[in-house]
């Protein structure tokens, strides 16, 4: 008969019974509450009772949530009045409790949401480990995440939206993936792919412009290390491109497929705003350290067009006798040359500014120093 070793972890009201057999770990939840007054005999009796229960087969073996090796900070952005923030907090608390030895909650209320603020204060008064950060008006998710990252004390940070976008029993998958990554994002799998596919234009355009391989940039469920939060700088609408920004700075980003939920009655986002956000992030990721390559390229093309048109007009005047006095093409070509020179000058000014602040600009990450 194979040897079975039981490990009992006790934490005042919840316990984990971990039998190890032939290299496999099976998790059993110990429902009995263990207090400081329980005798060793009663604890042993409870353990024996659980160990005597029939074991499930290998195919239906329960999955144990892996624990993080540092405290976890859960950041929840509240950008509107939810139906029941207290119930949502309890749901998130129960889902994240097995993930780390210590869990803290940080609620960022983006705007004057009085009912939500009052409910969160009542939860804090009841002893819930949470912090409340409030904005006088809505500043956006990027600003909220930046503030929450500075206030978080955990070695890992989990961002969650005010509505559940993924099945919460899938959160251990993120913990497993963070073992060999710096940032883990979710790719939601649903039973309604057509509905989700209608909102894939962001991913398609980011793949076209930036070469992105991420398939669900809109999902707000992310797990990242403390080092990533310390390096990221977010503003505007850059929160959607957080994986791309982290990847550009040298962090290892993984996308994990999980069972997701589609938010009903989601407000449509204007395609023009989406395109502008993509162009902004494209410039910041590709040319913020070398602006002359961006402006200089455009300026050279416009200058070349203006120069060729002007040269052709001069040739027509000198060799074919075509007059220039009544031809607006000469004025247009001259203005094109001036515009090209101005764009090139903007690129040069950008290079001067980047050089002057090069000491404070850093687009790299040192993984380790070998001695």
Strands (E), the chain: 5-10, 15-21, 24-25, 28-30, 72-78, 103-110, 130-135, 156-160, 183-189, 222-225, 253-259
> Quick one: 123 and 267 in the same domain?
yes
> Quick one: 76 and 105 in the same domain?
yes
Instruction: Give the residue-averaged pLDDT of 133-137.
Output: 91
Q: Domain count for the chain, please give it.
A: 3
pLDDT band at 277; cut points 50, 70, 90? confident
Q: Are 181 and 254 in contact (CB under 8 A)?
A: yes
Instruction: Give the residue-averaged pLDDT of 160-176.
Output: 91
Instruction: Give the residue-averaged pLDDT of 283-294.
Output: 85
Tokens of 217: 């940039």
**What does the pLDDT read at residue 363?**
62
Asked if residue 368 is part of any domain, the answer here is no
Q: Which of 20-34, 112-126, 142-156, 184-198 has the lowest mean pLDDT?
A: 20-34
How many CB atoms sit inside 10 A of residue 194's CB? 7
Asked if residue 362 is part of any domain, the answer here is no
Q: Are 202 and 217 in contact (CB under 8 A)?
A: yes
Asked if residue 248 is part of any domain, the answer here is yes
- Residue ending a domain, among 287, 306, 325, is 287
pLDDT band at 228; cut points 50, 70, 90? very high
Residue 8 clears pLDDT 50, i.e. is over it:
no
Asked if residue 369 is part of any domain, the answer here is no
> Quick one: 315 and 168 in the same domain?
no
**What does the pLDDT read at residue 178?**
93
Residue 60 clears pLDDT 80, i.e. is over it:
no
pTM above 0.85, yes or no: no
**What does the pLDDT read at residue 250?**
86
d(CA 102, CA 129): 10
Asked if residue 67 is part of any domain, the answer here is no
CATH of the domain at 210: 3.90.550.10
Tokens of 319: 């060799």
Residue 242 clears pLDDT 50, i.e. is over it:
yes
> Quick one: 47 and 85 in the same domain?
no
pLDDT > 70 fraction of the chain, expressed in percent and rounded: 74
Choice between 6 and 352, residue whose per-residue pLDDT is larger:
352
Q: Which of 39-43, 325-329, 342-346 has the lowest mean pLDDT?
A: 39-43
> Quick one: 273 and 126 in the same domain?
yes
- Residue ending a domain, among 287, 312, 331, is 287
pLDDT > 90 fraction of the chain, expressed in percent and rounded: 38
CA distances in angstroms from 277 to 147, 206, 232, listed in the order given: 21, 10, 18
Give the range of the structural domain holding residue 300, as residue numbers without chain letter: 291-356
Choice between 149 and 218, residue whose per-residue pLDDT is larger:
149
**What does the pLDDT read at residue 45?**
41
CA 52 to chain centre: 44
Q: Which of 6-20, 121-135, 277-291, 308-322 has the lowest mean pLDDT?
A: 6-20
Q: Which of 65-69, 159-163, 201-205, 261-265 has the lowest mean pLDDT?
A: 261-265
> Quick one: 170 and 295 in the same domain?
no
């Amino acid at each position: 008969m194979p040897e079975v070793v039981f490990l009992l972890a006790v934490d005042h009201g919840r316990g984990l019974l971990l039998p190890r057999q032939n290299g496999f770990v099976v998790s059993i939840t110990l429902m009995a509450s263990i207090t400081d007054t329980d005798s060793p005999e009663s604890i042993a009796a409870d353990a024996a009772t659980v160990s005597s229960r029939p074991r499930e087969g290998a195919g239906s073996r329960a999955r144990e949530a892996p624990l993080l090796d540092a405290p976890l900070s859960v950041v929840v952005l509240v950008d509107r009045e939810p139906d029941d923030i207290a119930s949502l907090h309890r749901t998130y608390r129960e889902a994240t409790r097995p993930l780390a030895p210590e869990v803290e909650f940080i609620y960022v209320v983006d705007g004057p949401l009085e009912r939500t603020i009052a409910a969160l204060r009542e939860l804090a008064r009841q002893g819930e480990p949470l912090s409340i950060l409030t904005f006088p008006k809505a500043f956006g998710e990027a600003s909220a995440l930046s503030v929450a990252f500075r206030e978080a004390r955990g070695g890992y940070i989990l961002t969650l939206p005010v509505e559940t976008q993924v099945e919460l029993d899938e959160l251990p998958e993120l913990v497993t993936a963070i073992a060999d990554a710096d940032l883990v994002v979710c790719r939601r799998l649903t039973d309604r792919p057509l509905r989700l596919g209608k909102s894939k234009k962001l991913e398609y355009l980011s793949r076209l412009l930036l070469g992105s391989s991420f398939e669900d940039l809109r999902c707000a469920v992310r797990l990242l290390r403390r080092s990533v939060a310390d390096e990221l700088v977010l503003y505007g609408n850059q929160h959607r491109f957080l994986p791309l920004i982290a990847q550009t700075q040298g962090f290892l980003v993984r996308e994990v497929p999980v069972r997701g939920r589609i938010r009903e009655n989601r407000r449509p986002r204007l395609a023009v705003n989406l395109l502008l956000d993509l162009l902004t992030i494209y410039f910041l990721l590709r040319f913020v350290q070398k602006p002359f390559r961006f402006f200089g390229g455009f300026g050279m093309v416009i200058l070349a067009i203006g120069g060729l048109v002007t040269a052709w007009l001069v040739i027509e005047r000198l060799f074919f006798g075509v007059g220039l006095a009544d031809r607006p093409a000469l004025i247009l070509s001259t203005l094109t040359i001036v515009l090209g020179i101005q764009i090139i000058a903007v690129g040069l000014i950008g290079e001067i500014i980047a050089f002057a602040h090069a000491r404070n600009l850093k687009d790299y990450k040192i993984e380790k120093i070998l001695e």
